[in-house]
């Protein structure tokens, strides 16, 4: 069966952000951090502090629990950073391994319902269900955080075609 993996990336960026002070205030080691001037081009005027979760299979719930366990008690610290001009972002990244099923015969072979007319090609993969509970959404809203989702699909897209 095709595989799926997901990860959360919680980021705080700002012009006056001090990554070392962030680490001390939160008591959490960042996955990566950088100071103003460390990055080139458009990002050179920002500092950043980022925490990335472990990878998980299709179930995002353990990842969101870890995030809340680490950061919910530090909401006021993060809110102060936002008041000082920082921005907060939660990004869900992941991979889905999939095969393109582009004809009815292949769908039947894989035991899918083919009664819908006309037949429409689809991806055969693990389902990615992203469910965010009210506590997490409230936490993100209290920080004026943005939420991005970046799921890449890869795999045997032409597996059903004969050479």
Q: Is the pLDDT of residue 94 over 70?
A: yes
CA distances from 9 to 26, 54, 94, 134, 148 (A): 16, 10, 11, 19, 10
Whether 124 is in a domain gets the answer: yes
C-alpha–C-alpha distance, residues 128 and 126, integer Å: 6
Q: Is the pLDDT of residue 6 over 60?
A: yes
Residue 161 lies in a domain: no
What is the per-residue pLDDT across 100-138, written as a single tens digit (0 to 9) for each?
899 999 999 999 999 999 999 988 887 777 889 999 999
Q: Is 23 contained in some domain?
A: yes
Q: Identify whether 160 is part of a domain.
A: no
Please check whether residue 162 lies inside any domain of the structure.
Answer: no
31 band by pLDDT with thresholds 50, 70 and 90: very high
Which pTM value belongs to this model? 0.81
| Predicted local distance difference test score (pLDDT) of residue 3 | 75
Q: Which residue has the higher pLDDT, 73 or 158?
A: 73
Our count of domains for the chain comes to: 1
Range of the domain at 86: 4-154
Query: Is residue 35 a part of any domain in this protein?
Result: yes
In a domain, 22, yes or no: yes
């Amino acid at each position: 069966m095709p595989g799926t993996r997901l990860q959360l990336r919680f980021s705080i960026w700002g012009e006056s952000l001090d990554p070392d002070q962030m680490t001390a205030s939160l008591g959490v080691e960042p996955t990566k951090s950088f100071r103003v001037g460390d990055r080139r081009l458009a990002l050179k005027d920002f500092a950043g502090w980022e925490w990335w979760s472990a990878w998980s299979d299709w179930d995002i719930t353990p990842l969101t629990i870890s995030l809340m366990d680490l950061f919910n008690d530090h909401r006021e610290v993060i809110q102060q950073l936002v008041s000082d001009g920082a921005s907060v972002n939660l990004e869900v990244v992941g991979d889905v391994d999939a095969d393109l099923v582009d004809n009815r015969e292949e769908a039947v072979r894989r035991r899918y319902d083919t009664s819908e007319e006309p037949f429409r090609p689809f991806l055969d993969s693990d389902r990615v269900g992203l469910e965010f509970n009210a506590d997490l959404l409230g936490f993100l809203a209290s920080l004026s955080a943005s939420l991005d989702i970046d799921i890449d699909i890869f795999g045997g897209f032409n597996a059903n075609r004969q050479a």
